[in-house]
């Protein structure tokens, strides 16, 4: 058969066919999202096995569609021939191709072992953590390391394995770039953390006490609606672990949780989820169901939750907004002022052995430690058996404290038990993106902080919507999206300056 | 290729393959059930379009699997060769074959027109009912009649069209049998209804008043749990139209609704749904996902809801059970006795122009009128244009009242607007099955009525579970299931004797 030059009509038809296939996959993923939400929030406990079946069968159908050779041929033709110069179309084809390669590359045998190891790894980790004995988890971790290398190789044998893994969660990111970023963060933060230890910890007694969870919940619901969460296109419920899920930008479901003895956690948690939810509700419906309309990366999604949580809710301006609402809900707080609320709201509650309890300044060092260790595991420079010792040494060097046992050390996080190498860095990248995006928003929006004190959130929300949410993954990396949205690629010094200024004030050093 | 006698091994493999395919379809139908429940109970309004898409794409996938030629070949081989004599296996193949024929028989063109006409018909019916003008709905109904004949012919050209339609909802039922059943009912009921008109209507003032809906709801939830609804394998929620849905026997979701000025409706409605839910929760999990484990028919499912609603909840024995609970929830009812509660609970609240408001005695005549008219439409002996006049005449003859307009007459029900010919009879068949099944239960369970007064429901539930729920559609018709469960095929006189005895007492005639 002679090779013919395809007509523009054929190109357009191929593109339409592609979009139809992609939208079908997206719709099925939406159904899967609903099954997941329902499982966490609504499902009766006796239905667990049946839900597992439903998810597995649906996942199989999605996998078949996502790896269908016809889809591959369409993509091949469009990549070879599609020279329309249309930026959106090019990005759709690029992202779809990327997904197709990742979905088809992993051999069935490795995919099967991965699925099994998720359960085996988790079970071993739970037992090891209970016994606080890393050696019980080590064999599964060994296997995860080897399997992850094999999977990375099957996806792209030309690139370093860790880069391929990282790219799953943080599109376009590499070790080279990340080493550069994290080195700068480490150099700035380690001395700051040491200095803060000599400062005065913020006074949290001003917001200590017992707070009715129903009243907390009502206050929170009012606030998240004011921030912009739309109940017409979403739901608010309660679940054990707060999360944001749902089935579509018109069906975003967010959950919260409240504790009677902690006013901060419920409120900041709800605002964190609101950041994720605003991203989801804000996606561009004109590109509905196309991969370009997905969030760019884990880090970029996290940037939206952290922007609302840290840059907005933990700011002095928000303390001024919050104070009268808090006092109306809880009259016992009548002595509180915005000036005493802000430090109390920002204070950490426990020493920084545990990542999820760390404050904004210490958190990145938890991440950098994990990054160095997992990169070493995949590259072969770190042995599984040496992890506990390296962990404890790292904690001492970075944070000046050493875990008393494995459970509070190397075994504290679930991620490695599921083979999630390359995931940890996205937390801190998200925090840095949030900081840089917020600085750009401050320049773009006159009086942004006054807006926040007044409870006028639409200008910020709208700016984020146009700069981030609607853009989806038009760009192939966070650096390029940041360049478009803030005028610069990621600049760690923005983050360092923010932390230094904020924490020096908070700890009076 | 020579035809070889299949080995027993091949047969067993074919049967296993068949079961796997059927279970996959069943699981996908379960997901579809969850989407439907969520839409009615949880979904934010803005997600309606997206949910429509999700349902359509899932329905397409289910249709593809249900009409896959490989499934047809398996069924063909098993039907030809599968002489194992295993009763369950034979029934699975029979039911799967039945579904396959129905799913594949209807040409794409007719199926497409049917889907369109569901929307067009509904829209026309809503407008016609608002204007109380049958002529606005007549053209769509004409088309439904012709389309239904064509569909019936494509499914089975050898049988009368109405029989094929009826069989969709009430497996194994025919016009011949139904004419026989309904003639006997008509002969017994018309004189009874005439006689009741001379009696004294029950006194409903003893349960009139305002009743807090939260208290009603709590009372109802306690009662349905005592009846046997398991919250471990189901949920109770509130929705505009009460229904029972869900995704699996381990995930049965029931909804209720309460009105402050009506104590009866919420409670009897909840108990009605409990009957459906106990059937669903009671299905045989050893046959999970196989068609034999589905309810036999619409009428048989309705028999379970009506058994708990009418035979149990509306009995004098249940009034004795209910009285102290009702008085505890609503102390204003302190003058009520079980003897005054029973007639009040059974009384109709409005004249019998409207089917859904009719009492047990008048309801069957509403159904028989619809049955005769729709059978005539399909057979060609009734013209669409003549419907309103025939309707009004039938109401006068059967129930002694005539609708003042089309809205309260021929346009009152939604069913025909969706082309549901053959559906109406299942309501009254269900009532008759319920009556006969309950009579058999009374013989099988010593002191059943004392059990009900005491709130001891497990014996009845267990007997129904073994006799009906677990049996699924092992038998090819309700008559055969009734024969197995009650010792006789459907006997209309059991129903007539029950109604005559109950309503003579209720109306003191």
Question: Is B38 at the interface with chain A, CB within 8 A?
Answer: yes
Question: Is A248 at the interface with chain B, CB within 8 A?
Answer: yes
Q: Can you tell me the distance from the alpha carbon of B192 to that of A421, in angstroms, rounded to the nearest whole number?
A: 78
Task: For residue B293, give the nearest of B25, B7, B17, B8 by alpha carbon.
Answer: B25
CA dihedral (A145, A148, A154, A155) in degrees, to 10, reads -140
The mean of the pLDDT values for chain A is 94
Q: Which of B110-114, B443-447, B490-494 has the lowest mean pLDDT?
A: B110-114
Q: Can you tell me the distance from the alpha carbon of A67 to that of A59, in angstroms, rounded to the nearest whole number?
A: 12
Q: Can you tell me the distance from the alpha carbon of A55 to that of B345, in angstroms, rounded to the nearest whole number?
A: 45
Please identify every residue of B annotated as catalytic: 273
Inform me whether the pLDDT recorded for A2 exceeds 60. no
For residue B487, name the pLDDT band (cuts at 50, 70, 90). Answer: very high
Inform me whether the pLDDT recorded for B189 exceeds 50. yes
Question: Which tokens hold the place of A9?
Answer: 């009509």
Which of B26, B34, B245, B249 is the mutation pick for testing A, counting most A CBs within 10 A?
Answer: B34
For residue B473, name the pLDDT band (cuts at 50, 70, 90). Answer: very high
CB contact under 8 A, A50 and B231: no
The three state secondary structure string of A404-419 is CCCCCCCCCCCHHHHC
Chain A, residues 264-293, CB within 8 A of chain B, namely none
Interface size, chain A vs chain B, as Cβ–Cβ contacts under 8 Å: 91
Count CB-CB contacts under 10 A for residue B68.
16
Inform me whether the pLDDT recorded for B503 exceeds 50. yes
Q: B274 near B320, Cβ under 8 Å?
A: no
Nearest to B24 among A28, A34, A57 (CB): A57
Task: For residue A411, give the nearest of A375, A373, A358, A362 by alpha carbon.
Answer: A373
CB contact under 8 A, B233 and A34: no
In this predicted structure, what is the pLDDT of residue B10?
81
Q: Which residues does residue B78 pair with via DSSP β-bridges, in sequence order?
A: none
Give chain B positions within 8 Å (CB) of A38.
34, 38
Question: Is A26 at the interface with chain B, CB within 8 A?
Answer: no
**DSSP-H helix ranges across B158-307:** 161-169, 175-196, 213-227, 263-281, 298-306
Q: Can you tell me the distance from the alpha carbon of A268 to that of A46, in angstroms, rounded to the nearest whole number?
A: 33
CA Rg value for chain B: 24
Task: For residue A303, give the nearest of A284, A270, A276 by alpha carbon.
Answer: A276
Q: In chain B, what are the helix, strand and coil shares in percent, each to the nearest 5?
A: 70, 5, 25
Which of A29, A34, A236 is the mutation pick for testing B, counting most B CBs within 10 A?
Answer: A34
Averaged pLDDT, B421-431: 98
In A111-177, where do the E strands start and end? none
Count CB-CB contacts under 10 A for residue B316.
18
Element (H, E) at B238: strand B234-238
- Cα dist from A81 to A8, A86, A95, B423, whole Å: 9, 13, 17, 55
CA dihedral (A372, A377, A382, A384) in degrees, to 10, reads 120
In this predicted structure, what is the pLDDT of residue B9?
80
In this predicted structure, what is the pLDDT of residue A81?
73
Question: Which tokens hold the place of A107?
Answer: 């051999």
Q: Which residues does residue B254 pair with via DSSP β-bridges, in sequence order?
A: B236, B244
Q: Write the DSSP symbol of residue B237.
A: E
Give chain B positions within 8 Å (CB) of A24.
57
For residue B82, name the pLDDT band (cuts at 50, 70, 90). Answer: low
In A173-250, where do the E strands start and end? 234-238, 244-248
Q: Can you tell me the distance from the alpha carbon of A166 to that of A364, in angstroms, rounded to the nearest whole number?
A: 17
Q: Quick one: what percent of chain B has pLDDT higher than 90?
A: 91
Residue B188 CB-half CA count within 13 A: 20
In this predicted structure, what is the pLDDT of residue A84?
60
For residue A148, name the pLDDT band (cuts at 50, 70, 90). Answer: very high
What burial class does residue A349 get, using C-beta atoms within 10 Å of its C-beta: 0-12 exposed, 13-18 middle, 19+ buried? exposed
Task: For residue A263, give the nearest of A315, A316, A201, A325 by alpha carbon.
Answer: A325
In this predicted structure, what is the pLDDT of residue B273?
97
Exposure string (b/e) for B159-188, b if CB count within 10 Å is 16 or more?
ebbbbbbbbbbbbbbbbebbeebbeebbeb
Query: For residue B73, which phi and psi values (nearest 5 degrees)?
Result: -65, -45
Please identify every residue of A annotated as catalytic: 273
Q: A266 near A256, Cβ under 8 Å?
A: yes
- Side-by-side strand order, sheet with B244-248: B234-238, B251-256, B244-248
What burial class does residue A410 get, using C-beta atoms within 10 Å of its C-beta: 0-12 exposed, 13-18 middle, 19+ buried? buried
Fold of A8-105: Methane Monooxygenase Hydroxylase; Chain G, domain 1 (1.20.58)
Contacts of B57 (CB under 8 A, 6+ apart): A24, A27, A28
Contacts of B180 (CB under 8 A, 6+ apart): none
Inform me whether the pLDDT recorded for B291 exceeds 70. yes
In this predicted structure, what is the pLDDT of residue A83?
61
Inform me whether the pLDDT recorded for A195 exceeds 50. yes
β-strand B251-256 against B234-238: which pairing, if any? parallel
Question: Is B49 at the interface with chain A, CB within 8 A?
Answer: yes
Inform me whether the pLDDT recorded for B1 exceeds 60. no
Looking up tokens 């035979």 gives B311
Q: Where are the domains of chain A?
A: 8-105
Q: Which residues does residue A235 pair with via DSSP β-bridges, in sequence order?
A: A253
Inform me whether the pLDDT recorded for B84 exceeds 90. no
Task: For residue A58, give the nearest of B248, B47, B247, B61 by alpha carbon.
Answer: B61
Looking at this predicted complex, what is its ipTM? 0.92
Question: Is B230 at the interface with chain A, CB within 8 A?
Answer: yes
Inform me whether the pLDDT recorded for B190 exceeds 80. yes
Q: Which of A117-121, B9-13, B438-442 has the highest mean pLDDT?
A: B438-442
Q: Quick one: what percent of chain B has pLDDT higher than 70?
A: 98
CA distance B460 to chain A (A): 23
B487 sits in the region (left: phi over 0; alpha: psi -120 to 50; else beta) called left
CB contact under 8 A, A42 and B235: yes
Question: Which tokens hold the place of A400?
Answer: 């000046």
Exposure string (b/e) for B269-289, b if CB count within 10 Å is 16 or more?
bbbbbbbbbbbbbbbbeebbb
In this predicted structure, what is the pLDDT of residue A1?
44
Q: Can you tell me the distance from the alpha carbon of A499 to that of A504, in angstroms, rounded to the nearest whole number?
A: 8
Nearest CA in chain A to B49: A250
CB contact under 8 A, A30 and B49: no
Q: Can you tell me the distance from the alpha carbon of A94 to that of B500, in angstroms, rounded to the nearest whole number?
A: 75
Q: Measured in Å, how far apart are chain A's first and last C-alpha atoms?
A: 77
Question: Which tokens hold the place of A436?
Answer: 């840089």
Q: Quick one: what percent of chain A has pLDDT higher than 90?
A: 91
Task: For residue B56, give the nearest of A347, A24, A185 by alpha carbon.
Answer: A24
Digit-coded pLDDT (tens) for A86-131: 899 999 999 999 999 999 999 989 998 998 999 899 999 999 999 9
């Amino acid at each position: 058969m002679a090779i013919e030059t395809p007509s523009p009509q054929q190109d357009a038809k191929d593109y339409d066919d592609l979009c139809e296939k992609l939208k079908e996959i997206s719709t099925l993923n939406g159904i899967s999202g609903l099954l997941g939400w329902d499982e966490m929030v609504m499902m009766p406990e006796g239905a667990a096995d049946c839900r597992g079946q439903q998810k597995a069968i649906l996942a199989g159908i999605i996998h078949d569609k996502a790896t269908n050779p016809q889809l591959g041929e369409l993509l091949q033709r469009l990549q070879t021939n599609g020279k329309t110069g249309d930026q959106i179309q090019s990005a759709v084809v690029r992202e779809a191709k990327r997904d197709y390669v990742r979905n088809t590359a992993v051999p069935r045998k490795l995919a099967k072992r991965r699925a099994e190891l998720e359960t085996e790894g988790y079970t071993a980790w739970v037992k090891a953590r209970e016994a606080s004995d890393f050696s019980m988890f080590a064999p599964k971790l060994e296997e995860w390391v080897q399997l992850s290398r094999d999977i990375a190789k099957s996806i792209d044998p030309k690139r370093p394995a860790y880069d391929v893994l990282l790219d799953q969660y943080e599109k376009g990111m590499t070790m080279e770039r990340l080493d550069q970023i994290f080195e700068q963060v480490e150099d700035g933060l380690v001395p700051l953390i040491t200095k803060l230890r000599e400062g005065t910890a913020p006074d949290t007694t001003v917001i200590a006490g017992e707070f009715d969870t129903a009243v907390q919940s009502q206050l929170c619901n009012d606030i998240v609606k004011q921030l912009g969460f739309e109940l017409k296109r979403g739901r608010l419920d309660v679940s054990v672990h707060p999360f944001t899920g749902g089935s579509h930008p018109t069906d975003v479901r967010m959950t919260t949780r409240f504790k009677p003895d902690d006013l901060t956690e419920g409120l900041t948690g709800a605002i964190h989820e609101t950041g994720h939810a605003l991203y989801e509700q804000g996606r561009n419906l004109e590109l509905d169901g196309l991969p370009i309309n997905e969030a760019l990366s884990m880090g970029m999604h996290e940037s939206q939750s952290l922007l609302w949580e840290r840059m907005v809710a933990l700011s002095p301006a928000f303390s001024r907004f919050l104070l009268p609402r808090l006092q109306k809900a809880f009259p016992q707080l009548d002595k509180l002022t915005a000036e005493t609320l802000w430090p109390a709201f920002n204070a950490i509650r426990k020493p920084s052995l545990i990542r999820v309890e760390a404050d904004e300044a210490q958190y990145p060092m938890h991440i950098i430690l994990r990054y160095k260790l997992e990169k070493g595991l995949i590259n072969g420079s770190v042995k599984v058996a040496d992890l506990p010792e390296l962990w404890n040494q790292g904690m001492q060097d970075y944070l000046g404290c050493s875990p008393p046992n494995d459970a509070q050390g190397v075994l504290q996080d679930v991620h490695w038990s599921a083979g999630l190498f390359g995931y940890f860095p996205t937390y801190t990248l998200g925090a840095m993106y949030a900081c840089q995006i917020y600085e750009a928003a401050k320049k773009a929006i006159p009086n942004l902080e006054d807006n926040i004190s007044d409870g006028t959130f639409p200008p910020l929300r709208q700016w984020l919507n146009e700069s981030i949410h609607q853009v989806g993954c038009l760009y192939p990396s966070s650096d390029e999206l940041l360049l478009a949205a803030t005028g610069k690629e990621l600049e760690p010094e923005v983050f360092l300056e923010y932390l230094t200024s904020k924490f020096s004030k908070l700890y009076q050093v």
